[in-house]
């Protein structure tokens, strides 16, 4: 497939990963088409899907549920993935790529991760050749992790290990996958360093002069689930994004730093 221009539809093309992915694919000379509610494409209702998928070689799904409540996120990923795969079959799309999460299958107490596993299973038993890219958490997600765990001035966080990745690096790795042949399996991606969750968030808040105190608590829950140790990090071979968290923080520090 390499070497010719492909039409690649990016579902969630206005999102954090989606917008970076569209730019990356454009730079490589492909026709990247962002699709989402703002362009008249809604995967929950099916609106606009047949039109945007006409002539598409590849679909990359980097959409996300507007609500993280357990039932909402399950409904979002199962309904949208079902509609998308059916429309791709009608349009003759040759490769479905979706971004999931490293360790999703190892943490069934998390409603969000249960929904990502349901999404993966629909893709695996669906009619389209596919590649599932399981990523670790984005550096850009650190603020949301902190906010989710905040009570007053305290942020109580698990000591479980993470191996986070810069969104730019993930977008580039997803672009590599999108223009390659489907693997009909999982590709894992992660950042260059492993770090305990409490330590990662402490560094992130410090770099922004955020004075909340981070408390290490092995029993603290991460989006509903307890981490024993390294469930959020890749087990086998993973493709690695090179950007280090410290360098990313320095490049993204607020004005005046
Ligand atoms: N956060 C992490 O650390 C992490 C780690 C690994 C994997 N992931 C996965 O990475 C993916 C992308 O995450 P992200 O943070 O880049 O997402 P995001 O910035 O929240 O963007 C979500 C996108 O989905 C679109 N969307 C929402 N509802 C839609 C619908 N009904 N039909 C079509 N598009 C819809 C949004 O469009 P509008 O803005 O127009 O509504 C937006 O473009 C997700 O699947 C997530 O599970 C996340």
Is residue 255's pLDDT more than 60? Answer: no
> Residue 154, SS3?
strand
Q: Which residues contact 141 (CB under 8 A, 6 or more apart)?
A: 164
* Ligand 1: centre distance to CA 21 (Å): 12
Is residue 254's pLDDT more than 70? Answer: no
Write out pLDDT tens, residues 93-117.
999 999 999 999 999 999 999 999 9
Q: Does the beta carbon of 34 sit less than 6 angstroms from any atom of ligand 1?
A: no
In angstroms, the CA 170 to CA 241 distance is: 7
Helix H or strand E segment including 193: none
Backbone angles phi, psi at 232, to 5 degrees: -90, 5
Q: Does the beta carbon of 16 sit less than 6 angstroms from any atom of ligand 1?
A: yes
Evaluate whether 185 touches 96 at the Cβ level (below 8 Å). Answer: no
Q: What pLDDT is stored for residue 247 in this prediction?
A: 97
Q: Measure CA 254 to chain center.
A: 25
* Ligand 1: centre distance to CA 120 (Å): 15
The atom of ligand 1 lying closest to the CA of 140 is: 3
Q: What is the 3-state secondary structure (H, E, C) of 36-55?
A: CHHHCCCCCCCCCHHHHHCC
The atom of ligand 1 lying closest to the CA of 17 is: 16
Write out pLDDT tens, residues 15-42.
999 999 999 999 999 999 999 999 999 9
Q: What pLDDT is stored for residue 3 in this prediction?
A: 67
Write out pLDDT tens, residues 111-155.
999 999 999 999 999 999 999 999 999 999 999 999 999 999 999
198 CB-side CA count, 13 A: 18
Q: What pLDDT is stored for residue 223 in this prediction?
A: 87
* Ligand 1: centre distance to CA 63 (Å): 3
Evaluate whether 11 touches 190 at the Cβ level (below 8 Å). Answer: no
8-12-14 Cα angle (round to 5): 100
Beta strand extents in 6-113 (DSSP E only): 7-11, 31-35, 58-61, 95-101
**Atom 46, ligand 1: which residue's CA is nearest?**
64
Q: Measure CA 189 to chain center.
A: 10
Q: What is the pTM of this model?
A: 0.96
Is residue 76's pLDDT more than 80? Answer: yes
């Amino acid at each position: 497939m390499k070497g010719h221009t492909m039409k690649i539809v990016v579902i969630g093309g206005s999102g954090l990963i989606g917008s970076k992915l569209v730019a990356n694919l454009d730079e490589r000379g492909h026709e990247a088409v962002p699709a989402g509610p703002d362009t008249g494409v809604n995967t929950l209702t099916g609106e606009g899907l047949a039109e945007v998928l006409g002539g598409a070689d590849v679909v990359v799904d980097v959409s996300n549920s507007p609500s993280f409540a357990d039932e909402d996120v399950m409904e979002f990923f199962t309904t949208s993935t079902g509609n998308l795969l059916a429309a791709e079959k009608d349009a003759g799309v040759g490769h479905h790529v979706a971004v999931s999460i490293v360790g999703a299958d190892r943490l069934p107490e998390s409603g969000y991760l249960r929904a990502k596993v349901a999404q993966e299973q629909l893709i695996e038993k669906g009619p389209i050749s596919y590649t599932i890219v399981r990523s670790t958490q984005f550096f850009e997600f650190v603020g949301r992790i902190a906010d989710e765990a905040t009570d007053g001035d305290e942020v109580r966080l698990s000591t479980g290990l993470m191996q986070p990745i810069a969104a730019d690096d993930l977008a580039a790795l997803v672009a590599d996958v999108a223009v390659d042949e489907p693997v009909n399996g999982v590709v894992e991606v992660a950042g260059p360093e492993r770090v305990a969750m409490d330590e990662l968030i402490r560094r992130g808040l410090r770099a922004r002069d955020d004075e909340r105190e981070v408390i290490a608590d092995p029993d603290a829950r991460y989006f509903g689930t307890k981490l024993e140790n390294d469930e959020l990090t890749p087990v086998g071979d993973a493709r690695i994004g090179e950007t280090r968290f410290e360098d990313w923080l320095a490049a993204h520090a607020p004005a005046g730093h």
